[in-house]
Amino acid sequence: MLDGTYHVDDPAPKSAADGAFRRAASPIRDQIDGPIDPARYHLYLAVNCPWAHRVWLMLTLKGVDMTKSFALPKRTDQGWVFDAEGRFFDPLNGFTALHELYATTGTYTGRITVPVLVDKETGALVNNESADILRILNRGLGGTDFLPTDRMDNIEAWNARIYPNLNNGVYRAGFARTQEAYDAAVMDVFDTLDAIEHQLSQTRYLTGDQLTEADIRLFPTLVRFDVGYHSAFKCNRARIIDYPNLWAYAREMYQMDGVPETVDFDIYRYGYHSKSELRNPLGIIPIGPSPDWAAPHGRG
């Protein structure tokens, strides 16, 4: 979108001249200080988007409800779109495409992305950066504090490593246009998974005995890895189920109250293997794998 007008062709290329994938920044970065009334705010999400998933997880683990609009899990030339009814209907505005929401700003320039936090009282788009929204919800809602001050340095260190090398690293591998770009990205992915596996041999969660924001930001990548990134993005040196500590940790998080409802393996499998000129020109969807995420994790 340029100056509030949607363009079918994305004016910002995803790959640089060196073949490496570059993710554009999220420009709507307003903050909310202090407690928030969840009834006042609305989230635009997509089930298949890992950045939206981390926000949905925060709400779930906080035990707080907030109205939500889920875009269809497959984008069209209109970007993220909605059905006229059902699961993928927009109950807030009845929009048919997410760019209609962004157009309400009148001046927005940038990519049309989820998640988006919207103020229902004013109609304003508050924030479309998932990392910001996580912290807005954590400090504004009651319940568990997933950013305890005594662990902040450790949380920030894990976030700084996991985001570029794993959360976004799988995309850097999957969208690489040169062998060199792919090699660098995929090594980052598995170096990070190896480091996490080692950490989880010593502590229950990334920063110790308490689940924190770092774990919430990691989980969406883990549940998509074996059914999507491993094959579709060529991150195939190993699977999550091949890491004993990481696989038990991932199952424990999956089995927390409400978390299974935020996960849809079929949507991930179909989405990452959808027809793509570069990655999957025939659009053939693989049959599996189907690991048992409900199996006992053995972590007490």
Q: Give the model's confidence band at 19: pLDDT under 50 very low, under 70 low, under 90 confident, else very high.
A: confident
For the purposes of burial, counting CB atoms within 10 Å of the CB of 290, is it exposed (0-12), middle (13-18) or buried (19 or more)? Answer: exposed
Tell me the C-alpha distance between 99 and 270, whole Å: 24
Q: Using one digit for the tens of pLDDT, what is the confidence trace for 147-165?
A: 999 999 999 999 999 999 9
* C-alpha 224 chain-centroid distance: 10
Beta strands 67-71; 41-46: pairing state: parallel
Mean pLDDT of the region 253-269? 98
Q: What's the mean per-residue pLDDT of the chain?
A: 95
Of these residues, 44, 108, 163, 171, which one is catalytic? 171
Tell me the C-alpha distance between 41 and 300, whole Å: 37
pLDDT score of 13:
45
* C-alpha 226 chain-centroid distance: 16
Contacts of 190 (CB under 8 A, 6+ apart): 235, 237, 238
pLDDT score of 14:
56
213: nearest Cα among 158, 293, 169: 158
Mean pLDDT of the region 51-76? 97
* C-alpha 229 chain-centroid distance: 13
pLDDT score of 185:
98
Q: Using one digit for the tens of pLDDT, what is the confidence trace for 175-198?
A: 999 999 999 999 999 999 999 999
pLDDT score of 25:
76
Is the previous residue joined to 164 through a cis bond, with omega within 30 degrees of 0?
no
For the purposes of burial, counting CB atoms within 10 Å of the CB of 76, is it exposed (0-12), middle (13-18) or buried (19 or more)? Answer: exposed
Tell me the C-alpha distance between 60 and 86, whole Å: 21
169: nearest Cα among 133, 221, 213: 221
Q: Is the dihedral of CA 203, 208, 213, 214 positive or negative?
A: negative
Query: Scanning the structure block, which residue is given the tokens 């053939």?
Result: 284
99 and 112 Cβ atoms separated by less than 8 Å:
yes
* Catalytic residue list contains 235: no
Tell me the C-alpha distance between 286 and 228, whole Å: 10
* Catalytic residue list contains 163: no
Percent with pLDDT over 90 in the chain: 90
Kindly compute the dihedral angle of the four CA atoms of residues 220, 224, 229, 230, in this order, to the nearest 10 degrees.
120
Query: Scanning the structure block, which residue is given the tokens 């779109």?
Result: 81
Q: For residue 228, which amino acid is it? A: G
Query: Scanning the structure block, which residue is given the tokens 């930001």?
Result: 217
Mean pLDDT of the region 40-53? 98
pLDDT score of 33:
87
Residue 227 has pLDDT above 70, yes or no: yes
Of these residues, 49, 108, 182, 229, which one is catalytic? 49
135: nearest Cα among 147, 127, 124, 126: 147
Residue 117 has pLDDT above 60, yes or no: yes
